[in-house]
Amino acid sequence: MLIIGIAGGTGCGKTTVVNQIINELPDDEVCVISQDSYYNDLSHLPLEERRKTNFDHPLSIDFKLLKQHLEELRQGNTIQQPVYSFLECNRTAETVPTEPRKVVIVEGILIMTDPEIRKMMDIKIFVHADSDERLIRRIKRDVNERGWNLDETLEKYQSTIKPMHAEFIEPSKEYADIIIPNNKHNTVAIDIVRTIINEKLV
């Protein structure tokens, strides 16, 4: 099994890159684990309180469960990946059965900040986009899809997203084997990553 970590700041294009990488791999050879599925269970808090959570700090992630799930997959077992709701700011009651595959992609802003998760990765990729690009993408997404208005998004960006990025996410870039520049779509980098995966798979 090949475990590939894909990190990078919010809006850098991790999900897009993952989709481009897996596009040409057979479905039964790859599975994706999203860090978002592993936000701590906040069911004990009302929505109003959950919305105040700092979701950009490593302590917001249940790394213990993520590690346990990666180990299960390595052992050939199917896991029940939690499903996260950005509108509810919480895990839902649903889970998605995720079967072990030859290639397991783990993606998320903070996945390379945890030493134990890092150690489990065979290839570590950091997707880079400039902060102004990421902020523009983030505003569009938060307002159109994730239930925040413009003022709330900008306030969050200044109070948590930007400082947490500087403190935790950007420094984790130093662990990357490959850095993908993604201010614009980067088909060359995607082709290189695909080639590396295919070489490792044979």
- Closer residue to ligand LLZGTKA7, CB minimum distance, 84 or 175: 84
Taking the complex as a whole, the smallest distance from the CB of residue 19 to ligand ADP amounts, in Å, to: 8
How far apart CA 61 and CA 41 sit, in angstroms, is 9
- Closer residue to ligand ADP, CB minimum distance, 49 or 130: 130
Those residues with Cβ within 8 angstroms of residue 81's Cβ, 6 or more apart along the chain or in another chain? 33, 34, 37, 69, 95, 96, 97, 98
> Looking up tokens 């990729």, which residue turns up?
125
Residue 126 engages ligand LLZGTKA7 in binding (rule: CB under 6 A): no
How far apart CA 75 and CA 120 sit, in angstroms, is 13
What is the number of other CB atoms lying within 10 angstroms of the CB of residue 75? 9
- Closer residue to ligand LLZGTKA7, CB minimum distance, 1 or 175: 175
| Per-residue binding letters, 142-161, with ligand LLZGTKA7 (x by CB under 6 A) | ----x--------------x
Q: Which two tokens stand for residue 52?
A: 């105040």
Those residues with Cβ within 8 angstroms of residue 13's Cβ, 6 or more apart along the chain or in another chain? 127, 129, 137, 182
3-state secondary structure of 181: strand
Identify the residue among 38, 55, 63, 126 touching ligand LLZGTKA7 (CB under 6 A).
55
- Closer residue to ligand LLZGTKA7, CB minimum distance, 17 or 89: 89
89 binds, among ligand ADP, ligand LLZGTKA7, none (CB under 5 to 8 A by kind): ligand LLZGTKA7
> Cα–chain-centroid distance for residue 48?
24
Q: What distances in angstroms separate CA 117 from CA 4, 134, 145, 159, one per listed residue?
A: 11, 25, 29, 27
Stretch that binds ligand ADP, among 12-20, 41-49, 63-71, 84-92 (CB under 6 A): 12-20
Residue 11 engages ligand LLZGTKA7 in binding (rule: CB under 6 A): yes
Identify the residue among 184, 187, 199, 202 touching ligand ADP (CB under 6 A).
184
Interface with ligand ADP (CB under 6 A): 8, 10-16, 137, 141, 182, 184-185
Residues in touch with ligand LLZGTKA7 (CB under 6 A): 10-11, 14, 36, 39, 55-56, 86, 89, 109, 146, 161
